[in-house]
Amino acid sequence: MEGVFKNNRNQEEKIISIESLSKFRGSQEGLKQTLVREAPEYFIDKGGAGSVYNLQGGLCLKIVSDRHNSENSDKYDLGNSLHEEAFLQRRASSVTHPGLTRVPLVYGIVDIQSLDAYGNERKGLIMEQLPAVNLANICYANKYPVPEGFDYDSFVSDLENFIELLHNSAQIAHGDLYLRNLMVDTSSSQPYLIDFGRSKDLIVCSKNQAGKYIDDDWKLFYEETEKFKKYLQIK
């Protein structure tokens, strides 16, 4: 299916067909196989909601099951639909920031024409693949070293300036500023902010609610970056 999807504020998000994506896997069949079985050879990393796979051409694919129709879905906060996530990430990626922090560029959404093991529909967010690792994988999983030349103070202050613009210019609260959603470039040490799966569109919030989401962002950001600072001190 190719076309446009309108989110809950009637704004459009591009839906990309598997056919037009096949250039990233050489053949349409090859790509379909990757999407259907979530091929481990292309696996990059996963979080609570999605798994991220490498596509060729500098892109990656975050595959998420739509659990909004599943049993007990009303009892959990499932976060944004993938369309809402793509919409907010696209807006966040267009923030003009004099510093270095960036958000991965959004390419579009792909309908994965097979269900997950629980019968839920799956969708994929196609975005720029970052040459980066997340801070939780450095700090808790010990999977990667801190990149050479990494400077904690400039990293955090650059991110801080970006988050300020995210709130005030893009009108988005990130909503999930854990270390796993902050990435660092393995060569240049520049920061990246990822994962808009719990972000809030402040344009459609009351002033009070928006203020609360912004306060929550700062509280979590400082708690999390303090943890990273402690890790750097004891390492």
Ligand X SMILES: Nc1ncnc2c1ncn2[C@@H]1O[C@H](COP(=O)(O)OP(=O)(O)OP(=O)(O)O)[C@@H](O)[C@H]1O
Beta carbons within 8 Å of 50's beta carbon, 6+ residues apart = 62, 63, 64, 125, 197
For ligand X, the nearest residue by Cβ is 47
Q: Is 224 in the site for Mg ion (CB under 5 A)?
A: no
CA-angle at 202, arms to 95 and 100, nearest 5°: 25
Distance CA 226, CA 6 (A): 39
What are the DSSP E strand ranges found in 77-228? 106-115, 121-128, 132-134, 172-173, 182-185, 191-193, 200-201
Residues 28-47 that bind ligand X (CB under 6 A): 44-47
**Residue 49 binding result from ligand X, Mg ion, none, given CB thresholds of 5 to 8 Å by partner type:** ligand X
Q: Is 60 in the site for ligand X (CB under 6 A)?
A: yes
Residue 115 vs residues 44, 54, 146, 203: alpha-carbon distances, Å: 21, 20, 38, 34
Q: CB of 149: closest distance to ligand X in angstroms?
A: 20
Q: Which is nearer to ligand X, 176 or 201 (CB)?
A: 176
Residues 120, 228 contacting (CB under 8 angstroms): no
Backbone angles phi, psi at 122, to 5 degrees: -115, 145
**Residue 52 binding result from ligand X, Mg ion, none, given CB thresholds of 5 to 8 Å by partner type:** ligand X
Q: Which is nearer to ligand X, 176 or 217 (CB)?
A: 176
Q: What is the CA radius of gyration of the chain?
A: 18
**Residue 191 binding result from Mg ion, ligand X, none, given CB thresholds of 5 to 8 Å by partner type:** none
Among the listed ranges 9-17, 36-44, 137-145, 193-201, the one in contact with Mg ion (CB under 5 A) is 193-201
Question: Interface mask (CB under 6 A) for ligand X, residues 127-166, using x and -?
Answer: xxxx---x--------------------------------
**Residue 127 binding result from ligand X, Mg ion, none, given CB thresholds of 5 to 8 Å by partner type:** ligand X
The residue count of the chain comes to 235
Burial readout 109-127 (b: 16 or more C-beta within 10 A, e: otherwise)? bbbbeeebeeebbbbbbbb
Distance CA 162, CA 168 (A): 10
Question: Interface mask (CB under 5 A) for Mg ion, residues 139-178, using x and -?
Answer: ----------------------------------------
Residues that bind ligand X (CB under 6 A): 44-50, 52, 60, 62, 104, 127-130, 134, 176, 180-181, 194-195, 197
Contacts with Mg ion by CB under 5 A lie at 47, 181, 195
